[in-house]
Amino acid sequence: MVHFDIVTVFPDIIENYCNTSIIGRARKAEKVNISVHDLRSWTADKHRTVDDRVFGGGAGMLLKVAPLYKAIQALSEKSVAKGLTPRVVATVASGELFNQHKAELMASSTDVNYILLCGHYEGFDARVYEWVHEELTIGPYILTGGELPALIVIDSVTRLIPGVLGNSFSAQEETTFMPDQDGIAVLGEHPQFTSPAVFNFVDNNGTEQTRVVPEVLRSGNHKKIAEENQKQRSKSRLAL
Ligand SMILES: C[S@@+](CC[C@H](N)C(=O)[O-])C[C@H]1O[C@@H](n2cnc3c(N)ncnc32)[C@H](O)[C@@H]1O
C-alpha cells in the first residue's frame, strides 16, 4: 500500500476529493492510505493560531514553525512505529518539478510514508525546511495554497497503483512524457471515440454536418486497430 499523511489548514478540500470516484474507491479498497490532518490540531493556544505576520515586514501571513514542527515530529514517529520510512514533502512553488516519473517512483514506494505539507498564505516559516526532505512544485505558477498540488500528487500516484484502474488501464497507451535537455517530449494518446458511431449536427452557418468514427476502429480487427491507434498518436514538446 502507498501511504500519505496530508497536513493542511483546509482538510475538507483534501477529504472531499479523496472520498470521490477512483481515489475514493482506492481508499476503501485499501490500495492507498490517505490520512488528512488539520494543522490546527498541533496548536496550543485558544484561537488555534497557525499563521502570523512576517518578521521584517512584507505582505501576507506565514505558517508558523511550531505547529509544523510538531506535525512533522508526530507523523514521522507514527510512520516509524508502523515500519515505514517518513519522507516529508513540502509543496513549494520554487521546488523541483513534479512529473510522471516521480509519480511512478512514489507509486512503487510502499515502504515510505509521504508526509505532504500544504502551504498557505505566503508559505512556510523558513525554519521548517530543516525537516523537509523534498520540495515539489507542480508547475511555474502561483496558487493560493498547497492543497491542489498535494491532490495532484495523490491522484497521479494512486491511479498507478496496481488494481486501482482495473483491467481497462494500459500504461503503454497513455500519454507518455520523456524529459530531455531541451524540455519534455510528449507522445500523446491516440484519439478515442464512443457511441454514437455517426454524429450529426448543424454548424453555425446552418449547414448539416456529420462526423463518423473511423471505419477501422469499428472493424473488430484488433491488429489493424492497434496499428491505426499507434499511427494516430501525436508528438509534441513541452518547453521548460
Ligand atoms: C501563495 S503561495 C506562496 C507563494 C510564495 N510566497 C512564493 O513566492 O513562492 C501559498 C502556498 O501555495 C503552494 N503553492 C503555490 N503554488 C504552487 C506550485 N506551483 N506548486 C506547489 N505548491 C504551490 C505552496 O504550498 C505555497 O506555500
Q: Is the pLDDT of residue 126 over 70?
A: yes
What is the H or E stretch that residue 74 is in?
helix 65-81
Q: Are residues 137 and 27 in the same domain?
A: yes
> What is the pLDDT averaged over residues 13-22?
98
| Residue pair 35/6 in contact by the 8 Å Cβ criterion | yes
Distance in angstroms between the alpha carbons of the first and the last residue of the chain? 33
What CATH number has the domain bearing residue 100? 3.40.1280.10
Q: Which atom of ligand 1 is nearest to the CA of 137?
A: 20
pLDDT for 172:
62
Mean pLDDT, to the nearest integer, of 5-29? 98
Within 6 Å (CB) of ligand 1, which residues are found? 91-94, 118-120, 122-123, 137-139, 141-146, 149
- Rounded to whole angstroms, the Cα distance separating 8 from 68 reads 10
Confidence of residue 129 (pLDDT cuts 50, 70, 90): very high
Q: Whose CA is nearest to atom 23 of ligand 1?
A: 93
Q: What is the pLDDT of residues 40-77, one digit of tens each?
A: 999 999 999 999 999 999 889 999 999 999 999 999 99
Q: What is the C-alpha to C-alpha distance for residues 78 and 52, in angstroms, rounded to an integer?
A: 28
Asked which of 167, 194, 217 is the last residue of a domain, the reply is 167
Q: 137: CA distance to ligand 1 center in Å? A: 8
In this prediction, residue 168 carries a pLDDT of 55
- Same domain assignment for residues 101 and 192: no
Give the three cell numbers for residue 120.
Answer: 498557505
The yes-or-no verdict on residue 234 having pLDDT over 80 is yes
What pLDDT is stored for residue 127 in this prediction? 98
Give the pLDDT band (50/70/90) at residue 198: very high
Nearest atom, ligand 1, residue 124 CA: 27
Mean local confidence (pLDDT), 165-191? 82
Question: How many A from CA of 121 to the centre of ligand 1?
Answer: 8
**Do 205 and 151 belong together in one domain?**
no
Statement to judge: residues 77 and 133 lie in one domain:
yes
Please report, for residues 14, 140, 188, 190, 223, the alpha-carbon distance to residue 174 in angstroms, rounded to integers and kept in the order given. Answer: 26, 24, 7, 8, 18
- Rounded to whole angstroms, how far apart are CA atoms 206 and 188? 34
| Average pLDDT rounded to a whole number, residues 202-228 | 97
CA nearest ligand 1 atom 6, residue: 122
User: How confident is the model over 140-160, as pLDDT tens digits?
Assistant: 999 999 999 999 999 999 999
DSSP letter string, 212-229: E--GGGGS--HHHHHHHH
Q: In the structure, what pLDDT confidence band is assigned to residue 39 with cuts at 50, 70 and 90?
A: very high
Q: Given a cut of 80, is residue 29 above it in pLDDT?
A: yes
Residue nearest to atom 5 of ligand 1 (CA): 122
Angle at alpha carbon of residue 97, lines to 170 and 92, rounded to 5°: 125
In the chain, beta strands by DSSP E: 2-8, 32-38, 51-53, 61-63, 85-97, 112-117, 134-137, 176-180, 183-187, 198-202, 208-212, 235-239
Distance 119 CA to ligand 1 centre (A): 6
**Whether 54 and 94 share a structural domain:** yes
Same domain, residue pair 106 and 220: no
Residues 91 and 201 placed together within one structural domain of the fold:
no
What pLDDT was estimated at residue 58? 84
Q: Are residues 158 and 83 in the same domain?
A: yes
Average pLDDT over residues 207-225: 97
Angle at 18 (CA atoms; ends 123, 22), nearest 5 degrees = 135
Q: Give the domain extent around 227.
A: 170-239
Q: What is the mean pLDDT of residues 197-222?
A: 97
The last residue of one of the domains, among 167, 195, 227, is: 167
Domain tally, the chain = 2
- Final residue belonging to a domain, choices 167, 193, 226: 167
Distance 135 CA to ligand 1 centre (A): 11
166: confidence class by pLDDT, cuts 50, 70, 90? confident
CA distance 150 to 202: 43
